[in-house]
C-alpha cells in the first residue's frame, strides 16, 4: 500500500488513467483470445465480422498498452523526480554537522535506493496490463467452464501463501543486505579518498581489504545469495504446486464426467496464454519487496532529516534585505560548541568565544592542528550553529529565521574545497567580462578557459584548483571572505600575490577577510591576529608590532 500511496500522492489523475487504459489493454488482449476461441469453434462462419473484431481488438491492445505505459511511466518518473529534488532540498536545508555524520546513509539513498525504486516502478505498466489480461481470460474461462475456473482459483489461492512466505523471509535478507551496503559505501569512499596512502603501503592495502572491505562484501554476498535462493524457491515451489493442481484436474475431472475433453482443451489453451502475464505478476512480487525496502530507507532518511530541522529554518525567505545591505561589524558573544571526533577519547569544546570584527579589516586566525580554527570559521559563516552564545551582524541577532540569509554574506574557500565545473549562479555576460580578467591575474589562461558559463577543465593540480576557487570567490563579490589554509598548496610566487595583492585588494573594497594560516612571515599584513589553542582564544593582538614578538 505504501508504494500505491507513494504514486497516488504525486498524481491521482495519471494513476487513474494508467489503471483504466491498462485494464482496457487487458480486455483487448483477452478479447483476442476470445475471438480465436470463437473462430475455431465456429470454423470461421462469420468471416467479415470476425476480421473486423480481430483488427479492432488488435488495435485496441496496442493503443491502450502504449497509453497505459505512457501514463504510468509519466507518473513513476515524476515521482522519482520529485523524490530526488525533495531529498536534495532537505539535505541542503539540514545542518552541516548532521550531513557530515550521516553522509554515507544520505548519499546511498540518493543513488542505490532511488535507482532501485525507479527501476521497479518502470515495471508497473506491464504488471497492470498483465493483471488485466489475466482477469479478462478468467472471464472467458468462466464462460467455458465455471468448474474448471473454480478449481484453478482454489489452486492459486492455495499456492499463493507458499509463494509469499519465502518472499517475506527474503525481505529480511534484503534489508540486511541494504544495511551492508552502507558499510561497503563507506569503505569505497575511504578507498577513493585514501588511494595514495594505500598505494604506498602494502600492509595498509592488505589490512584494508582483509579486515574491512572483504568482510563487508562477504556479508553482503551471503545475504544476497539467501535472498536470491528464497526468491527462486518461491517461484519454483509456486510453479510446482500449480502444475500439480493442473495434473490433478487433467487426470480426475474428465474421467469423472464433470467436464469434457473439449472443454478441457479450450480451457488449457487459454491457461497457457495467461502463463506469461501470470509469471510477470508473480515476478513483480519479488520486485515489490525490494521496493518496500528501498522506500523504507528513503522514508527513514527523510524522517531523519526532517526531525533535525527547525521549521523556522525551512520556511525562512532567502532575502539578504531581511538583514543588512551594508554590514559594518560582526560580533560573537559567548559562543560555545562541542563535537565528538572518533580519533579522540573526549569531546572537543570550542569556547567560550567573545570577539568583534569590523569591516573592512584583515584577520589572521592561527593555531595548531585541532585547535578549533576550522570549527570557528564554520560557526562564523553560519554552517555550524553554536550550542550556546549569539552571533550579531551589526545589531541583528542571527537565528533560525535569518541564518540562511546571513550565510549569503560569505564567500569561503575551505581546505577541501570542491570546484564545480559550471560557474553556478552567475550571468554569462558577467562571467565573460570579469572571468577572463581574473584568469589572467591568477595565471590560469593557459590551463583554463571560461566557455558558456563553464570551466573548460577542472582537472588541475591542487594549487591550481585553489586558484580557480579564488576566481569564483572574486566573482561572488561578498562582504566577508574566509580562506582556510588557501596558500598551503601554493608556490612562493603565488603566496606573495595572495598575501600582498589579493588580500589587501579585498580590504580596499570594504571586505572583512579571515585568513587561517601558518605562514608567520605574512602575519604583519593583518590588522588583527587571533590564536587558538584547545578551542580557546589564547591571543588576540590588534597591533602589528606585537604579532611577531
What's the burial of 142, exposed, middle or buried (CB within 10 Å: 0-12/13-18/19+)? middle
Give the pLDDT band of residue 334 (cuts 50, 70, 90): very high
% pLDDT > 90, the chain? 13
Best-predicted range by mean pLDDT among 32-36, 183-187, 335-339? 335-339
C-alpha cell belonging to residue 160: 499463493
Instruction: Please report the pLDDT score of residue 342 as a whole number.
Output: 54
Instruction: Please report the pLDDT score of residue 364 as a whole number.
Output: 95
Instruction: Please report the pLDDT score of residue 357 as a whole number.
Output: 94
| 411 vs 90, higher pLDDT | 411
Give the pLDDT band of residue 243 (cuts 50, 70, 90): confident
Give how far Cα 388 sits from Cα of 242, 326, 352, 395, 533, Å: 68, 27, 9, 18, 19
Give the pLDDT band of residue 547 (cuts 50, 70, 90): very low
What mean pLDDT comes out for the span 173-184? 75
Give the pLDDT band of residue 546 (cuts 50, 70, 90): very low
C-alpha cell belonging to residue 31: 478479447
Helix (H, G, I), strand (E, B) or coil at 9: coil
What mean pLDDT comes out for the span 129-146? 81
Listing DSSP states for 197-224 in one string gives HHHT-HHHHHHHIIIIIHHHHHHHHHHH
Cβ contacts of 271-279, under 8 Å, gap ≥ 24: 271/137, 271/141, 271/152, 271/246, 273/33, 273/137, 274/133, 274/134, 274/137, 276/130, 277/129, 277/130, 277/131, 277/133, 277/134, 278/130, 278/134
Whether the full predicted model's pTM is greater than 0.85, yes or no, is no
What mean pLDDT comes out for the span 240-260? 79
Specify the DSSP element, H or E, that contains 391.
strand 388-393
pLDDT at residue 545 above 70?
A: no
What mean pLDDT comes out for the span 80-102? 74
Mean pLDDT is lowest, of 31-45, 138-152, 523-537, for 31-45
What mean pLDDT comes out for the span 254-273? 80
Specify the pairing of strand 348-358 against strand 329-339.
Answer: antiparallel
Best-predicted range by mean pLDDT among 349-353, 367-371, 390-394, 417-421? 390-394
Instruction: Please report the pLDDT score of residue 308 as a whole number.
Output: 63
pLDDT at residue 442 above 80?
A: yes
- C-alpha to C-alpha distance for 549 and 546, rounded to whole angstroms: 5
Give the pLDDT band of residue 356 (cuts 50, 70, 90): very high
Give the pLDDT band of residue 320 (cuts 50, 70, 90): very low
What mean pLDDT comes out for the span 400-427? 84
Give the pLDDT band of residue 509 (cuts 50, 70, 90): very high
Of 103, 113, 120, 231, the residue nearest 178 (C-alpha): 113
Best-predicted range by mean pLDDT among 148-152, 426-430, 495-499? 495-499
Instruction: Please report the pLDDT score of residue 315 as a whole number.
Output: 47
Question: Phi/psi at 280 (nearest 5 deg)?
Answer: -60, -45
% pLDDT > 70, the chain? 86
Give how far Cα 140 sits from Cα of 47, 129, 132, 157, 515, Å: 21, 17, 13, 19, 80
Amino acid at each position: 500500500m505504501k508504494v500505491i500511496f507513494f504514486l497516488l500522492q504525486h498524481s491521482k489523475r495519471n494513476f487513474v488513467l494508467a489503471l483504466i487504459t491498462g485494464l482496457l489493454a487487458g480486455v483487448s488482449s483477452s478479447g483476442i483470445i476470445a475471438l480465436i476461441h470463437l473462430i475455431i469453434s465456429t470454423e470461421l462462419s462469420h468471416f467479415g465480422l470476425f476480421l473486423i473484431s480481430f483488427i479492432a481488438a488488435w488495435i485496441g491492445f496496442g493503443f491502450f498498452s502504449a497509453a497505459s505505459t505512457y501514463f504510468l511511466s509519466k507518473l513513476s518518473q515524476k515521482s522519482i523526480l520529485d523524490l530526488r529534488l525533495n531529498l536534495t532540498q532537505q539535505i541542503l536545508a539540514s545542518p552541516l554537522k548532521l550531513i557530515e555524520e550521516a553522509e554515507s546513509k544520505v548519499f546511498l539513498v540518493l543513488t542505490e535506493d532511488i535507482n532501485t525504486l525507479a527501476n521497479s516502478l518502470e515495471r508497473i505498466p506491464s504488471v497492470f496490463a498483465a493483471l488485466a489480461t489475466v482477469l479478462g481470460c478468467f472471464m472467458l474461462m468462466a464462460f467455458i467452464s465455471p468448474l474448471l475456473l473454480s478449481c484453478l482459483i482454489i489452486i492459486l489461492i492455495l499456492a499463493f501463501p507458499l509463494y509469499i512466505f519465502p518472499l517475506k523471509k527474503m525481505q529480511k535478507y534484503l534489508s540486511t543486505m541494504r544495511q551492508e551496503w552502507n558499510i561497503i559505501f563507506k569503505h569505497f569512499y575511504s578507498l577513493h579518498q585514501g588511494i595514495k596512502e594505500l598505494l604506498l603501503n602494502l600492509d595498509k592495502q592488505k589490512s584494508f581489504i582483509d579486515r574491512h572491505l572483504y568482510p563487508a562484501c562477504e556479508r553482503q554476498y551471503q545475504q544476497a545469495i539467501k535472498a536470491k535462493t528464497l526468491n527462486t524457491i518461491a517461484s519454483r515451489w509456486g510453479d510446482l504446486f500449480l502444475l500439480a493442481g493442473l495434473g490433478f484436474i487433467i487426470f480426475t475431472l474428465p474421467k469423472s464426467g464433470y467436464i469434457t475433453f473439449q472443454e478441457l482443451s479450450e480451457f488449457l489453451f487459454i491457461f497457457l496464454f495467461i502463463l506469461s502475464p501470470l509469471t510477470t505478476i508473480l515476478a513483480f512480487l519479488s520486485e515489490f519487496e525490494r521496493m518496500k525496502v528501498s522506500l523504507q530507507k528513503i522514508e527513514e532518511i527523510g524522517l531523519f532529516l526532517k526531525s533535525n530541522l527547525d521549521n523556522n529554518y525551512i520556511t525562512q525567505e532567502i532575502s539578504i534585505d531581511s538583514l543588512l545591505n551594508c554590514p559594518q561589524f560582526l560580533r560573537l558573544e559567548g559562543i560555545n560548541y562541542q563535537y565528538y571526533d572518533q580519533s579522540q577519547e573526549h569531546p572537543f569544546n570550542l569556547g567560550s568565544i567573545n570577539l568583534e570584527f569590523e569591516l573592512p579589516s584583515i584577520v589572521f586566525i592561527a593555531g595548531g592542528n585541532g585547535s578549533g580554527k576550522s570549527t570557528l570559521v564554520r560557526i562564523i559563516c553560519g554552517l555550524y550553529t553554536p550550542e550556546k552564545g549569539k552571533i550579531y551582524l551589526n545589531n541583528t541577532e542571527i537565528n533560525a529565521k535569518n541564518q540562511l540569509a546571513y550565510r549569503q554574506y560569505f564567500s569561503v574557500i575551505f581546505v577541501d574545497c570542491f570546484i564545480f565545473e559550471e560557474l553556478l549562479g552567475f550571468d554569462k555576460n558577467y562571467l565573460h567580462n570579469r572571468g577572463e580578467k581574473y584568469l589572467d591575474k591568477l595565471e590560469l589562461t593557459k590551463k583554463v578557459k571560461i566557455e558558456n558559463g563553464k570551466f573548460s577543465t577542472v582537472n588541475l593540480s591542487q594549487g591550481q584548483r585553489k586558484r580557480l576557487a579564488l576566481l569564483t570567490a572574486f566573482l561572488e563579490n561578498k562582504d566577508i571572505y574566509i580562506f582556510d589554509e588557501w596558500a598551503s598548496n601554493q608556490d612562493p610566487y603565488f603566496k606573495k600575490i595572495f598575501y600582498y595583492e589579493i588580500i589587501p585588494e579585498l580590504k580596499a573594497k570594504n571586505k572583512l577577510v579571515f585568513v587561517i594560516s601558518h605562514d608567520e612571515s605574512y602575519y604583519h599584513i593583518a590588522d588583527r591576529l587571533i590564536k587558538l589553542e584547545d578551542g580557546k582564544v589564547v591571543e588576540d593582538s590588534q597591533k602589528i608590532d606585537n604579532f611577531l614578538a
